[in-house]
Amino acid sequence: MDRRRTPPDIETSVLLKCARRCTLCFHLSGDLAEKLGQISHLDQDPSNCEEDNLAFMCLNHHSLFDSKTSQHKNYTLHELKAARSKLYGAVAENKHTEKITATGVTYNLIGPNARVNINSHDHSANAAAISTGTTPDILMSENRARLLVTLPHDASEKIASFVPSPTTLATLYILPVVRNYGKTMAVVTLFKARFLILSEGQQLPTDPDYEAADFQTVQVVTQLPPDALVQPKAGISNFDFVPVYEQKSTLWLYGLVDYRDIYGFSHQSRFCFVYHIPGGFNPNPAGFYSSGPEAYNRCT
Ligand SMILES: [Zn+2]
């Protein structure tokens, strides 16, 4: 296929309108953070450089969108274009420069302070009572807290520059970002993250195992207001990392966060990332990419 270069004036126009905010990050989670990314061809035809066919996407979404096997191929052209015009609208209204308040709390998942204040979060009786009543469900759904887990940009750079020493123990810490994209308070009750190393040919199990002994777990009750975030820590040692560094194994980072909304309902947001090292025909830069089956990425 003829991969013609996008004319510079069209490219500039796209970049200015989106201010380097990712169309899919904004569409899926209201994320208006600046992203490293690329311009995608919405109809998947790289020779179609009409501005209407172009949208800026972060590296994760760009690579997922381009891969024919991913769930992202299911986005319709209409949906993508509607998402893009919403994004352009938000940027035109300067929504992307509004200050967000972050609590910036860090919990150490390794070490003596890993577990704090364990509380039950079983509100199922409460939730059942609400759902059988006359409560306006739609309003609750619109106004509830919604947590999503992403990785900060420096995570990819940090791991790409992690050179394991053969003799001295060192731990690479990754700080996943748990952010409340909803409109009301969330009460976070549990965070779990696990590095999983799979040797060549091994597939990620279809059903995620959240009971494995090597999960790094934070059980803590934390209030998380809208737009606020917490960054629990997950660590991997250089000795564990060696086969990944030598490209003999694949590294996955997956887990979940449990939380309650202001109506007392319990929710769970799962996340799953794979660490990619460039090689073969894959030109994407080294780093973490959202990946894994739906069960690993389900959010309730
Ligand atoms: Zn994105």
Q: If you measure from the C-alpha of residue 116 to the centroid of ligand 1, how many angstroms do you get, rounded to a whole number? A: 33
Parallel/antiparallel/unpaired status of strands 229-232 and 37-41:
unpaired
Which residues of the chain, if any, have pLDDT below 70? 1-4, 67-74, 99-138, 278-284
Q: If you measure from the C-alpha of residue 23 to the centroid of ligand 1, how many angstroms do you get, rounded to a whole number? A: 6
Q: If you measure from the C-alpha of residue 166 to the centroid of ligand 1, how many angstroms do you get, rounded to a whole number? A: 36
Q: If you measure from the C-alpha of residue 14 to the centroid of ligand 1, how many angstroms do you get, rounded to a whole number? A: 15
Q: If you measure from the C-alpha of residue 11 to the centroid of ligand 1, how many angstroms do you get, rounded to a whole number? A: 18
Return the closest-CA partner of residue 61 out of 51, 47, 75, 48: 75
Each as own residue / partner, the long-range contacts of residues 86-92 (CB below 8 Å, 24 or more positions apart, any chain) are 86/26, 86/27, 87/18, 87/21, 87/23, 87/26, 87/27, 88/17, 88/18, 90/21, 90/26, 90/32, 91/17, 91/18, 91/19, 91/21, 92/17
Q: What is the pLDDT of residue 110?
A: 37
What pTM, to 2 d.p., does this model score?
A: 0.56
Task: Report the chain's mean pLDDT, rounded to a whole number.
Answer: 80
Q: If you measure from the C-alpha of residue 113 to the centroid of ligand 1, how many angstroms do you get, rounded to a whole number? A: 34
Residue with tokens 């090597």: 214
Q: If you measure from the C-alpha of residue 264 to the centroid of ligand 1, how many angstroms do you get, rounded to a whole number? A: 30
Q: If you measure from the C-alpha of residue 36 to the centroid of ligand 1, how many angstroms do you get, rounded to a whole number? A: 9
Q: What is the pLDDT of residue 116?
A: 30
Distance CA 96, CA 90 (A): 7
